[in-house]
Amino acid sequence: DYYKNPDFYPDLHEQDTSRQLVWLDSVLSASTEKQKIVVGHHPVYSVGEHGSEPDMKRVFEPRFEKYGVDLYVAGHDHSLQSLHRQGSALSHLISGGGSEQTHVKIDPSITRFAKASAGFMLVAMRPKALKIYFINSAGKVIYSETISNEVVQGSRHLTDK
């Protein structure tokens, strides 16, 4: 869809997305890290205003699964979200609550946490797990979870208040 709007994305045609995907594949395939994190702007899955991105699912999700990516971190939607698709080892986090807040619509099949709140996310890397904290603009932890290589554990706070 972005390619159809050259006025809004004037330099997109100059980007070599094929080359970028070759680079991503080479980096992920060569990685020997125990925990793999990929960061991008657009989410693959989102329960926020913009929603999930079909092109992102088609292009990136198979790569992330193939190369054992543990965590995909995105922004774009102005909310805080922790999402996990059943049957997948990949977790999706969205931290887009820095400038404004937009609504979220809970999808129980993928939502561990979603809140239309100003705030940010903190990821603490441990040897065998990632500790995720969502922190509101008052500095209060409003949700936390631990993502390990085997089990995802976390408290479920699924309110949009």
- Answer yes or no: is pLDDT of 152 > 50: no
Higher pLDDT among residues 1 and 76, named by residue: 76
- Answer yes or no: is pLDDT of 71 > 60: yes
Alpha-carbon gap, residue 105 to 94, rounded angstroms: 14
Mean pLDDT in residue range 69-91: 92
Q: What is the pLDDT of residue 40?
A: 93
On average, the pLDDT of the chain sits at 85
Q: What is the pLDDT of residue 53?
A: 86
Render pLDDT for 123-148 as a digit per residue (tens, 0 to 9). 998 888 889 999 999 999 999 999 88
Render pLDDT for 20-44 as a digit per residue (tens, 0 to 9). 999 999 999 999 988 899 999 999 9
DSSP, residue by residue, 82-94: EEE-TT-S-EEEE
